[in-house]
Amino acid sequence: MEAFRRIQTGKKGDIHMVAFKDSKILDDAVLDAIRQEITTLIGKASGPDVLLDFANVEFMSSAMLGLLGQLHRKISGGHGRLKMCGIRPEIMQVFKLTSLDKLFSIHKDAPAALATFT
Amino acid sequence: MLDQTAAAAPSGAGIDVVIAEDSRIQAKMLERRLVEAGHRVRWGENGAKALALVRERRPDIVVSDIEMPEMTGYEFCKAVKGDPALRTIPFILLSTLSDPIDIIRGLDAGADNYVTKPYEPDFLLGRMRSLLATPLADVQDAAATLEVSLAGQTFRVQAGRQQVLNLLVSTFENAVAKNQELVVANQELSVARDSLEKSNHELVGLNAEISRRNAQMVRDLEAAAKVQRSLLPAADAELPAAQVAWRYVPCADLAGDFLNVFPLDAEHAGLFVVDVSGHGVPSSLMAVTVGRFLVPKVSESSLLVRQAADGGVSIVAPADVATQLNRLFQADEFSGLYFTMLYGVLHLPTGRLDYVSGGHPALVRVPAAGGDVEHHGAEGFPIAFVPDVGYEQKTLQLAPGDRIYLYSDGVPEAMDAERQPFGEDRMNDCLRASRGRPLDESVAALLTAVEEWCKPAGPLDDVTILGLEWRP
């Protein structure tokens, strides 16, 4: 198992669980590292199921949404499923503002999200 | 009179040496070197201890440091040379020779030889050999009182001629040895200096190259910023039946935000705010590229107007503009860049505003008739985010004197020092409070409120505000 600096990873069945370690995802360097680490994690999997846990994240930049868009296209393009959980109200506001709450599958917490993968 | 003991002393291997040295490490290093050369060594950590060793059994030679606790090297030397039974033992002082007076002190103490510290062990061994090869006469009788002047002081020194000669020679030898070391060091320095000069020369070249590239980059950035400014409304932008005012404060040289407002034909005006994700060169490049499609003149690239069959101009519906932009800006898999946009077309005679939002914050209306400010949003994903989606178009009917404000998320999301966002409520309050003042002042007041909120750091995002008041 590779050790990642920006994300904490786990597996529940075939589902990759990814929790962001940072409370602020604002810096381009942090964002690039996250992109790299997730790519490494799911790079070779075809159609992976991925759950992103935002419980630690207090602030994130608009560029982070771009990364989520990339992941969404990549994962759903491979017939995998991308789900998110643990999003704070302030960040949920950003999703609503951009209508992206309609695009992404967003759940309250990890157990609730995992239950929807079946 | 020759001292038989000294004369009989061996000059090669197997001599008996007493060392006086308070540094254990230095003593052990010297001892090891002497033992390797086949000599016997006894060590005293100060003059007193070494003197006891000398008295206990007469050595062939004594090597003594000067600075030591209890009994210094000078005192130790004086004690040996003052003892008729020990006087002919050759005595070498290890001196730093930092001061010419050291020589006088050595003479006065009766030392036979100096070796300056730091020394090469082989040099010291050579000294010992030569001293033992020419045994000392018992100088007791030959000793004379010399007067030596040094640094304005007169010293009276008791020393034999041979002793003076030895000391003189050893001092001279030391000077020669030190001089040779200096010559070598000087050569090394000279080599190092040449290499430094070469490196320095290279550095100067590199520095010039960096300056050149930096100047080039600054020029490029300025050129890019200039191209970006061309995306903004002309200074004298005027519309019939409407007033406009705007503020645009990029947080860096190059921004991801831009806005514009312009007549599309005699009866329609177009207005938009675009916010490309991220900052810096990649975002601004995308902004400039997007900007080329959002121009009011009929051209190859314009998405806003088309040549109509009758030779006139047909205006493209805002929802179609968004859909086409989304098709053109296929999601960039490498950068993940995307943009949000609010684009509206205002029919100037009737005040009908058709608009579309690609993930952009809702527009704000401040009704002329009074009442609370209203937010009007349309659903739609950011552009270049989801391939091949359509966009919803909405319509807002303005009343005469109504104001609308378009803005980037840099306004509501501006954070203060505690990372609290400025928020929609404060924005609403601000626009409500300024409704009685001229449009330009209301836009300026909102910008000022955002900037005040972000003190002392200032906004971390581009801040863009576009206000329009319909006056048919």
All structural domains of chain B with their residue ranges: 4-189, 230-470
Q: CB of B239 within 8 A of CB of B348?
A: yes
| Six-digit token string for B86 | 């020990």
pLDDT at res. B254:
77
CA distance A71 to chain B (A): 9
Whole-number pLDDT of residue B380: 94
In this predicted structure, what is the pLDDT of residue B167? 72
pTM: 0.66
pLDDT of residue B170: 73
Is the pLDDT at B181 greater than 60? The verdict is yes
Sequence letter at residue B329: F
- Per-residue pLDDT, averaged over B347-352, amounts to 97
Q: Is the pLDDT of residue B153 over 90?
A: no
Nearest to B348 by CA among B263, B237, B235: B263
Q: CA-CA distance, B120 to B30, in Å (whole number)?
A: 10
A66/B340 Cβ within 8 A:
no
Does the beta-carbon distance from A69 to B386 stay under 8 Å? yes
* A38 contacts in chain B (CB < 8 Å): none
Whole-angstrom Cα distance, residue B6 to residue B54? 14
Burial, B417: exposed, middle or buried (Cβ in 10 Å; 0-12, 13-18, 19+)? exposed
Chain B residues with CB within 8 Å of chain A CB? 275, 277-278, 331, 333, 335-338, 340, 357, 359-361, 379-382, 385-387, 409, 413, 419, 421, 460
Q: Which of A98, A100, A101 to mutate to test the interface with B (most CBs of B within 10 A)?
A: A98
> What is the pLDDT, as a whole number, of residue A42?
85
Q: What superfamily would CATH give domain A7-115?
A: STAS domain (3.30.750.24)
Strand order across the beta sheet in which B91-95 lies:
B40-44, B16-20, B61-65, B91-95, B113-116
Nearest to A98 among B333, B340, B460 (CB): B340
Minimum-distance CB partner of A69 among B336, B360, B380: B336
Write out pLDDT tens, residues B289-337: 898 899 988 887 789 999 888 878 899 999 999 999 999 987 656 678 8
Mean pLDDT for the stretch of residues B142-151: 67
- B387 neighbourhood in chain A, CB within 8 Å: 73
Would you say how long chain A is, in residues?
118
Q: Across all residues in chain B, what is the average pLDDT?
A: 86
Q: What residues does each domain of chain A span?
A: 7-115
Distance CA A106, CA A94 (A): 13
**Half-sphere exposure for B59 (CA within 13 Å, toward CB):** 27
State which H helix or E strand residue A75 sits in: helix A62-77
* Residue range B230-470, CATH number: 3.60.40.10
Alpha carbons A77 and B290: distance in angstroms, whole number: 26
Q: Is the ipTM of this complex over 0.90?
A: no
**A61 and B CB contact within 8 Å:** yes
| pLDDT tens-digit readout, B100-115 | 777 778 878 888 888 8
Do B260 and B233 touch, CB atoms closer than 8 A? yes
Select the residue of A59, A69, A73 nearest B419 (Cβ to Cβ).
A59
Q: Which fold has domain B4-189?
A: Rossmann fold (3.40.50)
Please write the tens of the pLDDT for every residue from B390-437: 999 999 999 999 999 999 999 998 989 888 899 999 999 999 999 999
- Chain A nearest-CA residue for B361: A97
Angstrom distance (rounded) from CA B199 to CA B203? 6
Is the Cβ–Cβ distance between B65 and B116 less than 8 Å?
Answer: no
